[in-house]
Structure formats: C-alpha cells, structure tokens
C-alpha cells in the first residue's frame, strides 16, 4: 500500500517510527514494543537508517520482517550521505525486490569527524531524483518547521524543500517540534512557496526529558519554557514527569488533528508505553 494513497483517501494516518536495535536485549525489547503498538493498527510503520555501516544491515532486515513477516505497511528510511551511485542503485533494487513501496529519502547526517558527502549526492534532492527516475516508489522526505540547522533562514530551507519536492516527493514528515505554532507557520510558508503535498507532523513522546533535551539541541527543536520548567520542578518524581510529558503530547496532538493535520508520525524511540497512552487519549 502506498502511503500517498492513504493520504489521498482523506483518512488520517497514524504511524510509528523505529530504529534498528543494536544488540540482543534491545531486539527483544523492540519485539515486545512492536507487539503493543500493532494493537493500535498503525497506518504505517517506518525504520530509520544510519550512516554507519553495521546498523544498515539491521535496518534492511527489520523493514523486511515488518513488511513481509508481520504484513505491516512499511516505509524504509534511506540516506545518501555515505553512499555512491552503485550502492544506492543496488539498495533501491533490494527495496523493490522485498516489496517495499514507501521510502523516506534523506541526505542523512555525517558520522562525527567524517566528511564523505559523495559529490553526486550532496542533498536529499539528488537521491530523490534518482529514485523517482528509476522506480515506482511512494517517496517521503523531511521537513523542518523550525528550519534545518544548516540553513541560514527558514525561507531558504523552504525554497530547498520546494526543489526537493519537485524531484518526486509525495509527502513530507516533519522533524519533531513541541510548539504547534512552528508547524502552522511552516504550513503557511510552504503554501506561499506553492507546496501543496501533505505535511505530517512528527511527534516525540517525552519519556526521558534529559534525552529529549539532548535530541532537541541536536536537531534545533525548541522546548517551550513552561514545559521545561514543569519538568525541572518535578525532576525527582518520575511518575509526575511521565504524566506531564504524556498530557503535553495529548494536547499537542489534539490541536494538530483538530486543525487539519493529515496524520501524526510518532518517534517511538522503540518504546511503546507513552505512544500507546497518548494514542488512546487523542480525539482521532
């Protein structure tokens, strides 16, 4: 099933993102959590792909398992940052052979200390152009409501997004954000630039506030002061912090859905409890 067909049908999509587990115990943990999340009948699931070699094989294995053994509508993330044309063409062929219809195509971040951007694939748009010219994939790409960290301005970023979409993108999934006004302003900017494909907001449940703060700094997502203050004030009370994070996400999701978001994409961090608690409480 192509995700764009789900979106075109007017049905809201609810999707869950996983990353490849690194060892045996995290594989078991992922299995348990996928089991819990499957009960929510997600519209699709996705598996991230790292620039480092060893986890790439695991991403491929996992997406193959989720798509073909569990029968879930799956989207494979794929990046061009560490790859040359031959590898990319082989990997796209692999996706086709295992029946993957949906790809999230990205440039990717360079592993620390490396500078291996292949000159043919400097941006995600280069990868998208190749994939769209050769295959019949439904293609998703990343969007940044607060701007990508390397962009001088959000307007520059949206212009680059427009170019990326013109290479064959069907829908966008956003970077995580906590203040919905960034998403709504981003929609306005995109509309002004003539972008009219679905833009699915990316939601990250705050289970571990320290970890989320670190991720937010890495990707340029700002945390509302009020939320940060509440978390700090309850730093010795894990149950209270959990509930603050879940309640915040429920309010955030409800506002997005009420105001016309085409769906919600949850960055599950391979955990299920918070995503289940949030999902079951939102007005779908």
CB of 198 to ligand FAD, least distance (A): 13
15 near ligand FAD, judged by CB under 6 A? no
Segment contacting ligand FAD (CB under 6 A): 20-28, 95-103, 105-113, 241-249?
105-113
Q: How far is CA 179 from CA 39, 115, 129, in A?
A: 29, 33, 32
Indicate which residues carry an active-site annotation: 17
Q: Which of 16, 49, 183, 279 binds ligand FAD (CB under 6 A)?
A: 49
| C-alpha to C-alpha distances, 248 to 15, 20, 102, 123, 213, nearest whole angstrom | 19, 27, 30, 34, 15
Distance CA 153, CA 148 (A): 9
Q: Does 205 bind ligand FAD (CB under 6 A)?
A: no
- Among 37, 106, 131, 244, interactor with ligand FAD by CB under 6 A: 106
Q: Is there a contact between 43 and 73 (Cβ–Cβ < 8 Å)?
A: yes
CB of 81 to ligand FAD, least distance (A): 7
Reported as type and span, the H/E element at residue 46 is strand 44-47
State yes or no: residue 74 binds ligand FAD (CB under 6 A).
Answer: no
260 Cβ contact list (under 8 Å, min separation 6):
none
Establish if 51 lies at the interface with ligand FAD (CB under 6 A): yes
Residue 48 engages ligand FAD in binding (rule: CB under 6 A):
yes
Confirm or reject binding of residue 66 to ligand FAD (CB under 6 A): no
Which tokens sit at 49?
């792909």
Query: Which stretch in 8-16, 117-125, 206-214, 248-256 sits in contact with ligand FAD by CB under 6 A?
Result: 117-125
Which H or E element spans position 141? Answer: strand 138-143
Distance CA(225)–CA(135), nearest Å, equals 45
Under rule CB under 6 A, residue 270 binds ligand FAD: no
| CA 203/CA 16 separation, integer angstroms | 10
Min dist. Cβ of residue 236 to ligand FAD (A): 33
- The tokens describing 224, both together, are 């509302």
Asked whether the CA dihedral 150, 154, 156, 157 is positive or negative, the reply is positive
Q: Is 13 in the site for ligand FAD (CB under 6 A)?
A: no
We find the least distance from the C-beta atom of residue 209 to ligand FAD, in angstroms, to be 21
Q: Is 109 in the site for ligand FAD (CB under 6 A)?
A: yes
| Positions that interact with ligand FAD (CB under 6 A) | 48-51, 77, 79, 104, 106-109, 123-125, 142, 148, 150-151, 157, 160, 163-164, 173, 175, 202
């Amino acid at each position: 099933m192509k995700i764009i067909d789900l979106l075109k049908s007017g049905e809201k999509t609810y999707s869950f993102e996983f990353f490849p587990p690194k060892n045996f115990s995290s594989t078991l943990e992922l299995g348990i959590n996928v089991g819990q999340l499957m009960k929510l009948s997600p519209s699709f699931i996705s598996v991230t792909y790292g620039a480092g070699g060893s986890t790439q094989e695991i991403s491929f294995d996992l997406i193959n398992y989720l798509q073909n053994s569990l029968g879930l509508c799956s989207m494979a993330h794929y990046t061009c940052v560490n790859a040359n044309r031959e590898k990319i063409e082989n990997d796209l062929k692999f996706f086709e052979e295992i029946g993957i219809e949906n790809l999230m195509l990205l440039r990717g971040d360079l592993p620390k200390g490396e500078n291996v951007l292949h000159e043919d694939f400097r941006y995600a748009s280069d990868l998208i152009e190749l994939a769209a010219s050769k295959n019949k994939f439904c293609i998703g790409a990343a969007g940044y409501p607060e701007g990508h960290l390397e962009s001088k301005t959000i307007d520059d970023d949206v212009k680059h997004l427009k170019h990326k979409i013109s290479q064959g993108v069907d829908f966008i999934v956003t970077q995580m954000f906590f203040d919905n006004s960034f998403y709504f302003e981003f929609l306005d900017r995109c509309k002004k630039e003539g972008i009219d494909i679905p833009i699915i907001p990316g939601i990250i449940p705050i289970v571990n506030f320290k970890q989320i703060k670190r991720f937010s700094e890495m990707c340029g997502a700002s945390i509302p002061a009020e939320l940060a203050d509440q978390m700090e004030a309850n730093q010795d009370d894990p149950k209270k912090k959990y509930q603050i994070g879940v309640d915040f996400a429920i309010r955030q999701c409800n506002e997005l859905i009420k105001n016309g978001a085409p769906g919600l994409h949850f960055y599950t961090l391979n955990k299920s409890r918070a995503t289940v608690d949030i999902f079951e409480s939102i007005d779908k």
